[in-house]
Chains A and B, each alone.
Chain A
Amino acid sequence: MKVAVIQFPGSNCDQDAVWALQLVGLEAELVWHTATSLEGFQGAILPGGFSYGDYLRAGALAKFSPVMQAVRRLAERGNPVVGICNGFQVLTEAGLLPGALLANHTLHFTCKEVFVRVERTNLPFTAGYHQGQVLKIPIAHGEGRYYADAQTLERLEQNHQVVFRYTPNPARSTPASTPRPAARRPGMVWEDGVGESSFNPNGSLHDIAGIVNEQGNVLGMMPHPERAVEGILGSADGLPLFASLKQALEVMA
């Protein structure tokens, strides 16, 4: 059972993804972005980072990498594909997932632990969680504001394609009413109702942190599950995602 971890020039969470896959007993192999085939791989991860330095737009140039044709074929065959952070941006740019990821409404690159609620568990990535489970997983991005037009959002909700949603810290009783900090410098504009202290870290519509395609085999998420796979990292809430993936691949084989 072998999973490809795609390396674009500028990927920087590739080794973490390999580590997470190996922790659950999956074989993982790094695949350079110029590869034209993913023969022999049952799944693929597009890791976080800054492919092509985020030039033009995050993920906009990586979608033209030769390996993306192979990723597309793998996805069309029904094999699981996961895009994490920059990988999510690449998947939306390539049209494998709907919508787009725009600059955080705060204009900050935000690196912190957030809480996400598991909205769907009948997927190869989330079978190991229970419905409504709240996970503590870090984010690290400047362009994570999920955007799609109203019709697309409605379709996503109707098809239950929203997999993870930002949610308040369950340990805090009234997080939604936390006052926003004052703007710290001229030009800093807070969106009405959504500040940095809100649980939605980037202004994503519908608090969306992760979605799947209609078939349910292509997942994109801004939080980094591979950075939450061991207690020493502050959270192991991401580990069941990789364990679920392993189980799903065993069933497929």
Chain B
Amino acid sequence: MKYHATLLIELKDGILDPQGRAVEGVLKGLQYRAENVRVGRVLEMELQAASESEARATAHDIGKALANPVMEVFIVEAVKPLA
């Protein structure tokens, strides 16, 4: 069975995100009242697994391998079976 998984990797709270600041500055220039803009990453992948929980566990392991715990957190956002 194939599953589609989405992994979010974000900077931890409290860590300066200059990219987010730059985006925020531009948004403010466009008159949007946006604050605390943070830029993260989305990783999408297809996983071969026997069950949804196995796919979710694999996505979690991949998040652990790819995120740097010093400054990042990851979230397995969604795991869905592929039709």
Contacts and interface: CB of A to CB of B under 8 A. Distances in A.
Interface of A: 56-57, 60, 92-93, 98-100, 102-107, 145, 147-149, 186-189, 191, 203
Interface stretch (B23-31, B46-54, B75-83): B23-31
Contacts of B16: 102, 105, 145, 191, 203
15 contacts: A56-B66, A93-B68, A99-B70, A100-B68, A102-B15, A102-B16, A103-B19, A105-B18, A107-B18, A107-B19, A107-B22, A186-B25, A186-B26, A187-B23, A189-B24
B70 A187 contact: no
B1 interface: no
Nearest to A203: B16
A52 to B, nearest CB: 12
B2 interface: no
Interface of B is mostly: helix
Contacts, number: 47
A230 to B, nearest CB: 35
Interface string B5-47: 0000000000110110111111001000000000001000000
B59 to A, nearest CB: 16
Interface size class of B (residues with CB under 8 A): 10 to 19
A92 B25 contact: no
B71 A189 contact: no
Interface of B: 15-16, 18-19, 21-26, 29, 41, 66, 68, 70-71
A38 to B, nearest CB: 24
A90 to B, nearest CB: 12
B22 to A, nearest CB: 5
B19 to A, nearest CB: 6
Contact of A60 (B24, B26, B68): B68
Contacts of A105: 16, 18
